[in-house]
């Protein structure tokens, strides 16, 4: 498979969740190929966590921008949010343990 073909298979979607405005996360960007690559690069540069799941990305890129994700995808999205919350929490607790052991 050529590099171009690999690039064209990439898919990405960006979500935003504001509980005061929306009942569910909203798709704020999505794309395939070069656009997917740029969405991912932009997120990483901005310090936004990136989660890779080809199946979920395929589903999300089929939805309209600005729309809340459908209820059928809630569980998958919640698992991603929990993953990132746990990742951040573990990272912070390890840092605190290391600080205490140094004292």
Evaluate if residue 4 carries a pLDDT over 80: no
Q: Which fold has domain 3-102?
A: name from scop (3.40.1690)
> What is the band of 103 on the pLDDT scale with cuts at 50, 70, 90?
very low
User: Residue 89 has what pLDDT?
Assistant: 45
What is the value of pTM for the model shown?
A: 0.73
Spatial contact of 14 and 56, defined as CB atoms under 8 Å apart: no
Average pLDDT of the chain is 84
Mean pLDDT value across residues 57-71: 94
Structure tokens at 25: 């996360």
Tell me the pLDDT tens digit for each residue of 33-51. Answer: 999 999 999 999 999 889 9
Q: In Å, how far are 23, 41, 82 from 18, measured between CA atoms?
A: 8, 23, 16
Per-domain boundaries in the chain: 3-102
Tell me the pLDDT tens digit for each residue of 6-22. Answer: 767 899 999 999 999 99
The DSSP-derived string for the chain is --HHHHHHH-EEEEEE--TTT-SS-EEEEEEETHHHHHHHHHHHHTT------HHHHHHHTTSPTTPBPPGGGHHHHHHHHHHHHHHHHHHHHHHHHHHHHH-
**Count of other CB atoms within 10 angstroms of residue 15:** 19
């Amino acid at each position: 498979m050529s590099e171009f073909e690999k690039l064209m298979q990439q898919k990405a979607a960006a979500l935003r969740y504001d509980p005061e405005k929306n009942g569910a996360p909203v798709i704020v960007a999505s794309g395939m190929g070069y656009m997917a690559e740029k969405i991912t690069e932009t997120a990483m540069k901005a310090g936004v966590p990136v989660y890779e799941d080809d199946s979920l990305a395929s589903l999300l890129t089929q939805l309209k921008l600005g729309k809340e994700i459908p209820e059928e995808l809630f569980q998958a999205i919640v698992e991603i949010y929990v993953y990132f919350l746990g990742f951040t929490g573990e990272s912070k607790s390890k840092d605190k343990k290391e600080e205490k052991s140094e004292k």
